[in-house]
Amino acid sequence: MKKIALIGSTGSIGTQTLDVVRQHPGQFEITGLAAGGNIGLFAEQVSRFRPKKASVATKELAERVRPQLPEDVQLYYGEQGLIEVAAGTEAETVVTAIVGSAGLPATIAAIEAGKHIALANKETLVTAGHLVTEAAGRKGVALLPVDSEHSAIFQCLNGERIEEVRQITLTASGGSFRDLTREELRNVTVKDALKHPNWSMGAKITIDSATMVNKGLEVIEAHWLFGLPYEQIGVLLHPESIIHSFVEYRDGSVIAQLGTPDMRVPIQYALSYPRRWPSEAKRLSLAEVGKLHFREMDYNRFPCLRLAFECGKIGGTATCVYNAANEVAVARFLSGNISFLQIETIIETVLSKHDVQEEPDLEGIRSADRWARNMAESL
Ligand code: NAD
Ligand code: MG
């Protein structure tokens, strides 16, 4: 039995991870579960999977959920609680399905405790890729991608040499507004933005897909996961989300990974690697799909993607600030406080006011993250 801990268990990736666990009885033991809210669902999950340790976001939530949990479960809360669940159990792998840079301290603690990471929480790599990859290399733990594009690239690189890669290309569905002009984006609503054409995901990443910040975060994530310079990372619009990403080699061969859009496939692969297990995912029929479409990415239409490349090339605290400003801007958009296009204005303005620090340590990252959040709130 493989022991795993899961942080962010009540979200889109979290619940699909538990689906995978359910579909493979006898393969997994859940040693720890953590969530931010939705304590009704969380209590059910804890009662069903019986982790040794559990954690919720706040003390108040912990007091409310305690009576609903089996008595022998050790309950924690807050950042320390997340760290306890991620690093303080016998798990061999930790699935990071929490959203935002809030996942960073727990991810680093898990790596320091020698756990492999099945990584969905891309914001941690964007915020502190140099620290996370350095720690993983030093501890000899694997960073196994859960993000579908990165799982695709990871699979296309199997048995190959990274120095023989000419370019990797991440495909992008284009999100909820891919066919609108910038003029038409002025008055879009939160409800419109939350309707993603191909994937059902958490609110934040759905907005990130519409602004193309998600692809920007993924470009930076790919840079750290595969150790490639930004010049060798491309993005291509592909509305059907059937080709999840591809790798071009120096001999001209292109290897792609395809499948129906179902996150349980890359989640499961991160947990079964290097093996492949049966899955209930709908099989891909290319005859049924008929046609696939591709379009060059328009960086004027999606300026947040251009900004992500720029921040990635600058390095240091630039990507941390890009991410933190976006997290605040998206929360403000979701609460009806700003318009859709103001998300990009906020990111751009915060970045323009930032003095980049090169090679920041964890404290440097945390202070840049705090600074960017305060600045993004104040605009
Ligand atoms: P979500 O909003 O559906 O779920 C987030 C989870 O994190 C919830 O369980 C929430 O309670 C928990 N959480 C949030 N703040 C917390 C805190 N401070 N302490 C403890 N728990 C906290 O998000 P999601 O769509 O599942 O995305 C999770 C991560 O996976 C994100 O980084 C996202 O970019 C990435 N991702 C998601 C998808 C997808 O299909 N949903 C695909 C690829 C990558
Ligand atoms: Mg993705």
Domain boundaries, the chain: 2-141, 315-378
- Does residue 82 have its Cβ closer than 6 Å to ligand 1? yes
Structure letter (DSSP) for residue 91: -
What is the pLDDT at residue 222? 98
| Per-residue model confidence as pLDDT tens digits over 120-135 | 999 999 999 999 999 9
Q: Is 246 in a helix, a strand, or coil?
A: strand
As for the ipTM of the complex, it is 0.99
Q: What CA–CA distance (Å, rounded) separates 281 from 3?
A: 24
- Please check the confidence at residue 197 and state whether its pLDDT lies above 90: no
Cβ–ligand 1 contact at 103 (below 6 Å): no
Task: Give me the pLDDT at residue 196, please.
Answer: 85
Alpha-carbon span 142 to 119, nearest angstrom: 10
Three-state DSSP class for residue 2? strand
Tokens of 317: 């605290």
Mean pLDDT over 298-326 rounds to: 97
Best CATH choice for the domain 315-378 from the list 3.90.1010.10, 1.10.10.10, 1.10.1740.10, 3.40.640.10: 1.10.1740.10
Distance 202 CA to ligand 1 centre (A): 6
Identity of residue 252: G
Query: Mean pLDDT score of the chain, rounded to an integer?
Result: 97
Ligand 1: centre distance to CA 98 (Å): 4
Q: The domain at 2-141 falls in which architecture?
A: 3-Layer(aba) Sandwich (3.40)
**For residue 16, which atom of ligand 1 is closest to its CA?**
26
CA 368, distance to chain mean position in Å, is 20
For the sheet with 93-96, list strands across it: 74-77, 53-56, 28-34, 2-7, 93-96, 116-119, 143-145
Q: Can you read off the two tokens belonging to residue 33?
A: 């579960």
pLDDT reported for residue 198: 86
The encoded tokens of residue 121 equal 């929480």
User: Is any atom of ligand 1 closer than 6 Å to the C-beta of 13?
Assistant: yes
For residue 205 and ligand 1, the question of a CB distance below 6 A is answered with yes
Is the shortest distance between the CB of 54 and ligand 1 below 6 Å?
no
pTM of the model: 0.98
Taking the centre of ligand 1 as the mean of its atom positions, its distance from the CA of residue 375, in whole angstroms, is 24
pLDDT tens figures, 227-274: 999 999 999 999 999 999 999 999 999 999 999 999 999 999 999 999
**Which atom in ligand 1 lies closest to the alpha carbon of residue 78?**
19
State in Å: Cα 200 to ligand 1 middle. Answer: 12
- Residue 54 pLDDT > 90, yes or no? yes
Report, in this order, helix, strand and coil percent for the chain, each rounded to 5: 50, 15, 35
Lowest mean pLDDT among 162-166, 174-178, 232-236: 174-178
CA distance 77 to 59: 6
